[in-house]
Structure 1
Amino acid sequence: MTEHERLAECFEEHRSRLRAVAHRMLGSAGEADDAVQEAWLRLHRSDVTGVRNLGGWLTTVVGRVCLDMLRSRTARREEPLGLRPPETAGDQADGPEHEALLADSLGVALLVVLDTLAPAERLALVLHDMFAVPYREIAPIVGRTPSATKMLASRARRRIQAAEGVRDTGSGRGQDIVGAFLAASRDGDFEALLVLLHPGAVLRSDRTAAQLGAAEASGAAGIARRLSGRARGARPALLDGGAGAAWSVGGELRAVFSFTIADGRITAIDVIADPWRLARIDVEFLPAA
């Protein structure tokens, strides 16, 4: 196999994720394909013999290409950002990257608000929140420190959350709600769980969490039945600054529980146990209530 063929094979392994990143950044399948093609050209022209993580290198390249395209854009036609490009809609790719794409945790407000963000804010938010790229890897793309990059994403996230009506997820009030939920779950207090849950709340689990027994559920009653008496090992925690909970065994993080809270009630709980995704979440354990 020639070097060109080896690079082409490696690139194809990452093409689906690269196109997904570009499409979320640009909102256009056609422009996403252009960005991915430019990444291939840069790969072909570069010496990557010393690159240990080719996927990360390609994500960085695509991020920079998209950032340049956003900054130079004057007029374009938008496509819905919540939809995958038709070319990848039937993809059967496995792995955490694919699950990160499917977990559209930012919701419908993304369709409108994302396009109002500054290019650097948009890139920081998309790469970190949708594709779990660490801030330290995003920082060189936007020309900021990791701390400043985290602030970019936080500012963008607040605008998204404001548009969705999500409030108190990282505040003391949000932590109080999560603490009360954990206590009610540990005590098997079904009625208290119902009070804390929005009637249309959803419980979602990634593939690894599902294999560990964290089945999905919908509706306040369904979630209350599923989680009543089940949170004995979970501890309150901040997840990327937002109110949540985490479960560890012997000091090893096994799963996190991300809470979405609106108007004082829990609207969604996402259980994440995939090691690849856990490694990219900032977890700060809080004292038990």
Structure 2
Amino acid sequence: MKQYLDLMRHIRDCGVSKEDRTGTGTRSVFGYQMRFDLAEGFPLVTTKKVHLKSIIHELLWFIRGDTNIRYLVQNGVNIWNDWPFQSWLNQTGQADDFPMYTPLWREQMKVFVERIKEDEEFASSYGDLGPVYGHQWRNFEGVDQLAQVVEDIKANPDSRRLLVSAWNPKDLPVMVKSGLPPCHSLFQFYVTEGRLSCQLYQRSADVFLGVPFNIASYALLTMMVAQVTGLKPGDFVHTFGDAHLYSNHLEQVEEQLGRQPFPLPTMAINPDVSDLFAFRFEDFELQGYQAHPHISAPVAV
């Protein structure tokens, strides 16, 4: 994963200081690209341990068109909790009682998550992120983009229109209320010599926390779509708009940059699955993953 470490170094050395929506502050660059040949291994960061279970469940959640965190938290995935939790605090007048990231805030988060798990009505009211990724992939103004792109790859692999967009200006005001406008906003497939490649355009990228998830998620999606369309995985190309390191992640970045990467693992996918919407968590097995210990850092909300 030299490409990822090079991106962090580039931002550290060449980025500019910018303020941001969260008030945290960032070091930022505009415009950057990485490329991963999926034949060389599964691009999961090895200089810190990455929680693959969260990545797989999140991707399956997107694919099924779900936007409520209930499925995620019931499967032990907590990566989306901060936004609906903070929205709930704001809506119910509790935000001043539970300042963000304090011990009290974290304890109240546990209460919120348990209610999401156990109370379907509460989850329906406060667990939904709005019409974010899964909704746009499967129901963009009535269009199931994901199902359509799979059929288009099969029918016309040379097409230059094999795109899926999560950026729907009409729905942005609704997304902002309880979540975020899509950061990984558009992806395009490309077929050549029996190989399927995918390029993602990510308008905004939290490089330390989010990007390792994004790389693995879209690499896995590429492999899944390749399998159900009878192709071999090609390249995953990751293109960025604003790629940034938050100011409260810089010490963690230095720690990670001081580590040597291990060889890439491989991802085994159940070969019997031929329908993109039939994949389950049990259909994936990561093999040979060796990684340095996890490095924690706060999410900027």
Instruction: Give the alignment's TM-score, normalised by structure 2.
Output: 0.28
Q: Which has the larger radius of gyration?
A: 1
- Tell me which of the two structures has the higher relative contact order, counting C-alpha pairs closer than 8 angstroms and 6 or more residues apart: 2
